Each structure stands twice: as structure tokens, then as C-alpha cells.
Structure 1
């Protein structure tokens, strides 16, 4: 079982790449290693690393390698996100894709070639580092493809699949055999018509990444201590398995945090512990990577209020209650094998077809599948989920150790 943090530098946030200070990075990594973590997820800003379509700055790539080496010295492996893309409400896109050079991020041939070479270059630069886990294509880059983005690059589901396959292949060319994957925010699982789909998330790449944020309506609807809120990450992990072809495909809880005021500050430690413990009750979990390592400094303007206080550590490296909870969990799990009991009861997920999932909103907070899963969980059932198309497939059910199947309607009956 892996425990890590999404690395948000204490000095300058991701703008630290403009004034890269290796000593400051080392101090940050020291504070993370002291929590017992074993990896960090790192975010180069795409416009700073590739300011021109044919210029990938060697110095910036070298600084990324220096960061990876500094992490390795502290026993921390490194996963790298390539196309940043979008982080903490800000878009970071190179000028050669916007305004006068406006081109679709997912379909324009020249943009695709530039992205492909950029991802390959970063992967190749780290390929000989034993602590390099692999590339994630970008952080929630699906948000550029659909509403509520104010200026989306519209694509079809087929075009999204083609983009994902091409970019994953570029990462594999740069660093063969590493854990290369993609990561979307929950529109892929919850939004009808979204071009990025659950099938893509659960079948393309070396692992499935889920990002669990309870400000998506979960905490607002069910409260900070509700079963749905404390099990939201576990629900997404189990939901992903409904679409997975490999019954034991690894699932990475790649982002999860305790956003105030939806999770009050005095409940942050409790929420952190409950979320992680519930996620650990899911088979085939690869690891948990908390968002984020350090708070965003109040001297930086224009972030949404909830973004400032998400760190395990404050800007001076002090351990916050969520950080203490994570440190206690890493200590508890050190040396243990992750082998939770099987989940023998599965709830049927009918989204109108597995590939396009046109009615996937039934899986969202307030939807019939979500509500039934939470109700079963509150009863102590520990449910998994299975696609309607596979609910009568005995071979599939046996491969997942499922012995009982029920529909949301059956759960709702008195």
C-alpha cells in the first residue's frame, strides 16, 4: 500500500518553477518524508516547460530531474503529471494553443504532435531513475473538453479515446514499462454526455485514477459526517471496477482532500482518517495520494477560498491535523499487506450502455445508484458495483467474487 502527497511547494506554489530553488524543494520533501510518505505527485507547468511548440526547455527538464533525484534521496518515489493544464481553478496553457493561435487541444495535428513530444521528453528524461513511477497525461485535462469550462475544446467520445491512446503511447516510448495513466475529474463518472468516459478511465493506461472531491455536491447534500461523504472515495474506487476488464486492475486514489468549509477545520482529521480507512477497505487499491502537501500561501491572490488550506503541512512546514492523521495511518500500515475482504454483494449500474454511458448521472450524488450504494454501506453491507450488461455473467461475477446482485429499486424497497 502506497501513501503519498500531491506536491504543492511551500514557496511560490507551482510558480516555483520560475525561480527554482533546490534547497527549498529539499526542505519540503524532508517534511513529507517525516510523515512516513513514500511518493509525491509532481506538476511541471506546461507553458513554462514548452513555451513554444518546438521548444521544450532543457533547463526546466533538468530541474524536474533534480527534483526527482532529491525525492529519491529521501525515499520518495515520483509520479509526474505532464500537461498542466488545469490546477486549483487556474488554466495553464501555452500561448501556441490560445487566442490568435487558438487550436483544439485534442484534435489539432500540430498541437497533438507538440503534446506527444513533450510527454515523451519528460518520460525519457526520468526513465533511468529507479524512483520514477510513471507519467499521468495531465491533471483533470478533461475539464477542457466540456462545460462548465467557459471556452471548451469540444470533442467526441471517439476523439477523446484517440487522444488518450496517442498520448499514453508517447509516454511509453519515453519510459517503457512504467505506470503511465490518465486522470479525469468526476465528470467522467457523473456527467451525462461528457466525452471522457468511465470505460476510458477504467480500461486505458496502467491503472485507474480517481479524484474524490466532496465539494461536488456530496458534502452539501449529506453533511460533513455523512456516510456518503466519508465513503465518497471508496465509492469511486468501487464504481471504477464496474467498467474494468481486468477484475484486479489497480486503482489509484490520486487526489483526495478535506476542503473547508464543506469539511469544517475541526473535522479535518476525522474526515481524513475515515476517508482513507474506507478506501483501504476496497480490494486492488494501489495507493492514496493526498491533496495536497503544503497550504497555498495567503500572499497569493485569487484562489478559491477552499484551495488555501488543503495542505497536510502549513507554509512553515508545521504538521496540520490532517497531516497528523496521515502520519498515523502510514505508521499503522508500514509493512502490512493490503488484503481486504472481498465484496460479495454488487449493486447493478445501468447507464444505458457501458461505452458511452449516456445516463451516468445515476451514479452521481443524488442519483439512484449513488443513493442505493450509500444505503447499503450504512447498513454495513460493503457493496461493489457491476454493469447491468454483466449482472448475469456468471464468469465475470465469479472473477470478482460476487455472490449476490441487487438493483437500486430492490435496495429502496421497504
Structure 2
């Protein structure tokens, strides 16, 4: 479907994180290509154009020097089946963490406990694994590229129960090495990494906004309103409807390239935070606001199919996040996303620049960032601007008077948090 994923698209991409309808990601243990094809048929029927897929790291690399050829062949078979249905494929490597469960190989746990971000032998094994996956898919025209792993930053600090502690400099070095391994395996593809929102919101977290906004081919955003947004502001709030937009625009403050692509790689409608009868409305609002952000590469919904309730111990919200049921029938959010995707492709007009920016008073090497989190002073000022009809961009305080930077982004006015509240009556 896509020759060069880095080329400007006629419209943002619309896709889904592929969760198999039977067996969840444990399907790799009993891989059934016919079942995968049926799942992909139901995804393609929604008019989506790509999938993000998740090999389980311990199953693919059970020993540091053993990457199972059969597992890699099955991944390629899945990718080819997607391509046959007009679906491009992004592959996550180091899985890592999925839906509250950790999947790490035995050679870095318990008796073999080693830091996954700094141990030299572990780094060599991880890099070879990523290089191998990338090389296996490199010649597929429908292969977008690799994401290093799903929210691997959660292994690096609190609130993980057993984190591999590192510094921001060590996090940056790990990202550089792993991204280079992807590039060695599949040169020129769209390789990147992703973090959950601790990178933007959690003080002293070793993965920083600058890592997200400067390393890899694009900035990825994982937007979940169960992170305190819905609990604090309510399901009907501006903050819930605009949370994905906020993270997209916040990320641009740290980007060196003023037009760096941003990928909304995970967003979903979790129950009960978003009531089931309002999932379509939430989808419509979230996507509309994200599409109003310049330089959006695409939107990839979480997730394709519901988790079968025969599987135990998932957090309750994980069972119902699918756009489709386990029987592959579309749900209201799935039908809504399909409609939006079709309309967007048919009538796409890139959004105008956001001419008013809100300055975030944080240093480049940020450690304290709770002001950007739900309840924080910056977060609430941004939402206030939305409520009075402003489309805010975000700029670092240190760049607020850099005319070249502001001009490149189309910014003509910069406000501070204090300006927002002192001018609220006037606005």
C-alpha cells in the first residue's frame, strides 16, 4: 500500500494495534495462520490501512544466543498476510509489557537478573534480536519499520515493582544502540521507540520528553485517559476529549525538527472511564482533535479485537477495548473509526498552524515534569485555553523568543501560564 512511509501522506494513516481474537498474544504458542487471516480480514473490512503487531520476546528469543527461526518465519507470514489485505505492518520488538503483563526472557530474570538497558551481554542480545526481525522483513514493501518495544520505559523506574534503574544518559544510549540495530537490519525504514506517559508526566523518570521527541523517525504518543485524566476531570470533560491532542502538541515543544512527524500510536476507549454507550462519541472527539494537529503521521487505535473473557487476571478494562468482538463483529467505536477514516481520506485538508503557543517553563534536560500531568499548572492552563476557543501549540520557555523557531512552526503569539489565568476574564 505504501512505498515510502516517511513521505508526506495525502492524509494521516488509520490503523489498529492487532490483538488476536483467540488466545490474545499467546497465539504465538499455537500459531494458526488461517485464524490470523480471518482477523486481518475483519480489520481490513473497517477500511484501516495498517496494523502494529507484537511478537512475544521470550518466545522468539528464549536464550540470549537463540532467536528461533520458526518464530521469525511465523512473524513474516503474519506480515505477508496483512500485506495481501492492503495492510502495512509495524512490528514491535522487545515485548516487553502488554496489558499489565510483563514478558521478559529468563536470561534477564531471577538467577540471571541483569539490567536490560546497561548489561553488555544483554545489549548485544537485544540488538541482534531487533536486527534479525528487521532483516527478515526488510524486503517487504508493506513493512513500515520496527518499534523497539511496547512502552519499554516502564521497566526503567517507578511504579514498576522491580525496575532496572538507569539514568537519562543511559536511556539515550540504549535507544541509540537499539535504533541502530533496526537500521542495520532494514535500512531506511521507519524505526522508532515508544513510551507510556511517564516520559511526559513523571518527575525524575529516566526516559525524557527529549528522548521521545528527538530519537527515532517519529515521536510516538500513547494516550490513555485512565491515567488520572478521567478520574480528576470526568468523562464529559475537555481534558478527556482533548487528551491525545494535548500530548501530541506537548511533544512538539522538545522536537528539534519543527515538522517532525507525530504518531498517535495508542489510544482507546477504556471502560468504565468511557462508558460503553459513549465509546463512539469519545472516538469521534478524540480523533477529530488529533487530526487538528499539524504533522500527524497517523492514528493507531488500541486495539483490534476484545480479549476473550476465558483468559484470566487481566484488568477489567482490558477485556473490552477492541474495535471488534472476539467473534470479529465491529463495535460502535470500530464503525465510527471506519467512517472517520473514509471521510478523512476523501476530504483531507491539512490543519492550519497553531499560531498561539503556551510556554512550558522546563529545562531541556527535564527532571521535574509533574506540571504537565493531569492536575498540573501547565496542563490546566492548556485546557483552559481550549475552553475559550484557542488552539494552543506548546513551546519551551527557552525558545519563546527564538524568532526562527517560532516562524518555522507558524507561531505568532506566546503565552505563559500566568497570562492564561490573568487574562481569563478578558478572553
* Matching residue of 1:331: 342
Counterpart in the other structure of 1:248: 259
**1:389 aligned to which of 386, 398, 411:** 398
Q: Report the equivalent of 1:136.
A: 147
Partner of 1:39: 50
1:111 maps to which residue?
Answer: 122
User: Paired residue for 2:5?
Assistant: none
Question: Equivalent residues in 2 for 1:142-153 (5 A)?
Answer: 142-153=153-164
**Which whole-Å CA distance do the structure 2 matches of 1:361 and 1:190 have between them?**
5
Among 55, 74, 84, the alignment partner of 1:63 is 74
Matching of residues 261-272 of structure 1 within 5 Å: 261-272=272-283
What is the match of residue 364 of structure 2?
354
Is 1:366 paired with 2:375? yes
Name 1:85's counterpart in structure 2: 96
SS in 1 for 2:81: helix
CA RMSD of aligned residues (A): 0.7
Equivalent in 52, 61, 74 of residue 50 of structure 1: 61
Q: Give distance in 1, aligned partners of 2:349 and 2:297.
A: 9
Indicate the residue corresponding to 2:6 in structure 1.
Answer: none
Quote the residue 1:171 is aligned against.
182
Query: 2 CA distance for matches of 1:103 and 1:263?
Result: 39
Q: Distance in 2 between matches of 1:285 and 1:301?
A: 36
Conserved 8 A contact 1:5-1:289: yes
In the alignment, what sits opposite 1:294? 305
Q: Which residue of 1 aligns with 2:247?
A: 236
Using the alignment, how far apart are the partners of 2:326 and 2:282 within structure 1? 22
Distance 1:48 1:195 in 2: 28
- Secondary structure in structure 2 of the residue aligned to 1:297: coil
Partner of 2:234: 223
Q: Which of 24, 33, 39 is the matching residue for 1:22?
A: 33
Paired with 1:225 and 1:318, the residues of 2 have a C-alpha distance of 27
- Measure, in 2, the Cα distance between the counterparts of 1:30 and 1:18: 22
How do 1:146-225 and structure 2 match up within 5 A? 146-225=157-236
Shift of 1:360: 1.0
Q: 2-side partners of 1:244 and 1:125: how far apart?
A: 31
CA distance in 1, matches of 2:46, 2:345: 12
In 1: Cα distance, 2:405 partner to 2:17 partner: 35
Partner Cα separation in structure 1 for residue 93 and residue 229 of structure 2: 29
* Structure 1 stretches lacking a partner, 5+ long: none
Deviation of residue 136 (structure 1)?
A: 0.2
Match of 2:388 among 375, 379, 404: 379
**TM norm structure 1:** 0.99
Residue ranges of structure 2 left out of the alignment (5+ in a row): 1-11
Would the alpha carbon gap of residues 111 and 338 (structure 1) be closer, same or farther in structure 2, given more than 3 Å must change? farther
TM-score, L = length of structure 2 = 0.96
Q: Is the 8 A contact 1:257 1:310 kept in 2?
A: yes
1:101 corresponding residue in structure 2 = 112
Superposed CA deviations along residues 298-331 of structure 1, whole A, max 9, x for unmatched, are 0000000000000000000111111011011011
In structure 2, the partner of 1:406 is: 415
In structure 2, the partner of 1:343 is 354
**Cα distance in 1, alignment partners of residues 259 and 321 from structure 2:** 31
Offset at residue 335 of structure 1 (A): 3.8
- Quick check: 1:38–1:77 contact (8 Å CA) kept in 2? yes
Distance between the aligned counterparts of 1:192 and 1:393, measured in 2? 27
* CA distance in structure 1 between the aligned counterparts of 2:388 and 2:324, rounded to whole angstroms: 35
**How far apart are 1:38 and its partner, in Å?**
0.1
Once residues 234 and 44 of structure 2 are traced to their aligned partners in structure 1, the CA distance between those partners, rounded to angstroms, is 33
- 1:215-270 alpha-carbon deviations (Å, 9 max, x no partner): 00001111112111000000000001000000000000000000001111111110
Shift of 1:338: 4.6
Measure, in 2, the Cα distance between the counterparts of 1:370 and 1:51.
43
Asked if structure 2 preserves the Cα contact closer than 8 Å seen for 1:252 and 1:287, the reply is yes
Please state how far the C-alpha of 1:337 moved relative to its aligned partner.
3.6
**Native 8 Å contact 1:225 1:271 kept in 2:** no
Q: Is the 8 A contact 1:82 1:137 kept in 2?
A: yes
Once the two structures are TM-superposed, the CA of residue 334 in structure 1 deviates from its matched residue by 2.2
Say if 1:47 and 1:93, in contact at 8 Å, map to a contact too: yes
Cα distance change on mapping 1:262 and 1:371 into 2, 3 Å: same
